[in-house]
Amino acid sequence: MLVVNEDRCVGCGLCVSFCPTEALKAWGLCHVDPDRCNECLVCIDYCPADALSMGEEARR
């Protein structure tokens, strides 16, 4: 699943506006709703802080 690196996230909210399934919320830091995320990877491309990545468990 999508993982937020909390040390990198600056809470800019950009990923929230690009997520097609409204899986992301940013209050202070970004949070992912795993039930909504379809792992499209769009947010990873837009994050200016390189704070988003796909965790290993996504492939299990």
For the CB of residue 53, give the shortest distance to ligand SF4 in the complex, in Å. Answer: 10
Please answer whether residues 38 and 55 qualify as being in contact, where contact means their C-beta atoms are separated by less than 8 angstroms. no
Residue 14 in the binding site for ligand SF4 (CB under 6 A): yes
- Total binding residues for ligand SF4 by CB under 6 A? 27
Do strands 24-27 and 29-32 pair parallel, antiparallel, or not at all (unpaired)? antiparallel
Q: Which of 3, 25, 31, 42 binds ligand SF4 (CB under 6 A)?
A: 42
Would you call 51 exposed, middle or buried from its count of C-beta atoms within 10 A (0-12, 13-18, 19+)?
buried
Among 3, 7, 9, 60, binds ligand SF4 (CB under 6 A): 9
